[in-house]
Structure 1
């Protein structure tokens, strides 16, 4: 046994010949190539934290049929926030100064928004449009969850999510894109509504076929999508004081012709 061990030790201590090196080098090169080709491990980040720190979040909501709704939420270092509708900068709808009272653009509208004549109706219309934007954002958050598996920059990852409704499941495809420059896109697409309960019987007073049909009609149709585009750019300091608020209404009744005047009148930025 000792002699065999000594022979093995001598073999291991011998210098590697050229033939052996010619075999090893391609193997090492292949291993390196395979390692480089493997996708980078996704980092887990907080979606809620990214949204809270974002200078801008665009909310794209595309129904299975009909017009899309494009909203944008801008946030500023001093606590200002601005909700707009439409492509690009969009049409401003709701402004909050220094996390204070809201200011509503009474002239803002959108295809499909209710007609409004009185100031109260216009106020509710603006509020409803802003809630449509924020509700779309909240739905994506609720379905994807807070723990976001973020792929490497320039890559897209996919996952499946499901939620329960009264008679089954809603199924969604989630695509997470980490764009060059740091922008994050989270897209949620409805893929299926499942119904797991059997048809109701004649003595069933709760889970009736009519109730199931009514509940199903309340769900988003298959094909509906919502996407959040979370900007990577840093927040600006504040909404410019020169921005006009002509046609706006302050929830506190203390508005102004410009943002600067509204700041002074409301006192929200003097706390």
Structure 2
């Protein structure tokens, strides 16, 4: 995987790397986009059925622009650190953890998996942002928003339930469940050239299945200054193949203090 793609991936899509987290309050009425911009950490759990073990990722962000991605599955998900970004341009990948049991990866294959895990988290957040809409605001502490939302697809609308609440620590919790697909485009006529029965079926098959669910947890406490310099990088490898003993050593190697 080209390094330029990795850097673009780490900077893509959502306002997760901008802003500084501020203190939350019981009357916090910031929008979902604002919360994401100011987030200390963002966790996404997702699955395609109610009884499926959660696939989960968590991105923790630091005041100096560094970030650390955690990955896992099941109830105790997102507990394995798998990728970190230093100096806004230098990535390191954990060669163990957050991989299928018994699987070992290295080189470009390892990079591809780690960036894929990052993009899965970003994609989950973007899906929930898109469904909630730009004006959606998570409720204040003690209140619950329980509503139904729709998004466009080629021949109609996808329908979702959306439940949002705010915890006492200021974090926002959202859960979205796909309820169904609504078709709004009239049936195919004999003279239609593009809207054919085959195209309708193909587009429908591309949609996520009914029962797909996602949970989004946005924490907005004050960000720590940086990843601890003494964090061991034993078992980690840089995007350029270099191996460092600690985060502090890797930080110096990319020109930071």
Which TM bucket (shorter chain)? 0.7 to 0.9
Deviations 1:123-155 (A, max 9, x none): 111111111111111211222123333323122
Structure 1 residue 240 displacement after superposition? 1.2
Given that residues 106 and 119 in structure 1 are in contact (C-alpha distance below 8 angstroms), is that contact kept between their aligned partners in structure 2?
Answer: no
Given that residues 43 and 149 in structure 1 are in contact (C-alpha distance below 8 angstroms), is that contact kept between their aligned partners in structure 2?
Answer: no
- CA RMSD for the aligned pairs? 2.4
Question: How does the TM-score come out when normalised to structure 1?
Answer: 0.74
Distance verdict in 2 for CA 1:88–1:218, change over 3 Å:
closer
Structure 1 residue 247 displacement after superposition? 3.1
Residue of 73, 88, 93 corresponding to 2:82: 93
Deviations 1:207-256 (A, max 9, x none): 22222222112111112111211124221111111222233232345552
More helix by share: 1
- SS state at 1:189 partner: strand
Structure 1 residue 61 displacement after superposition? 0.9
Distance verdict in 2 for CA 1:217–1:73, change over 3 Å:
same
Given that residues 45 and 147 in structure 1 are in contact (C-alpha distance below 8 angstroms), is that contact kept between their aligned partners in structure 2?
Answer: no
Partner of 1:80: 66
Partner of 2:44: 59
Given that residues 57 and 78 in structure 2 are in contact (C-alpha distance below 8 angstroms), is that contact kept between their aligned partners in structure 1?
Answer: no
* Structure ranking higher on relative contact order (CA contacts 8 Å, 6+ apart): 2
- SS state at 2:200 partner: helix
Given that residues 116 and 125 in structure 1 are in contact (C-alpha distance below 8 angstroms), is that contact kept between their aligned partners in structure 2?
Answer: no
Question: How does the TM-score come out when normalised to structure 2?
Answer: 0.78
Q: Which runs of 5+ in 2 are unaligned?
A: 1-26
> Which has the higher mean CA deviation after the structures are superposed, 228-237 or 143-152?
143-152
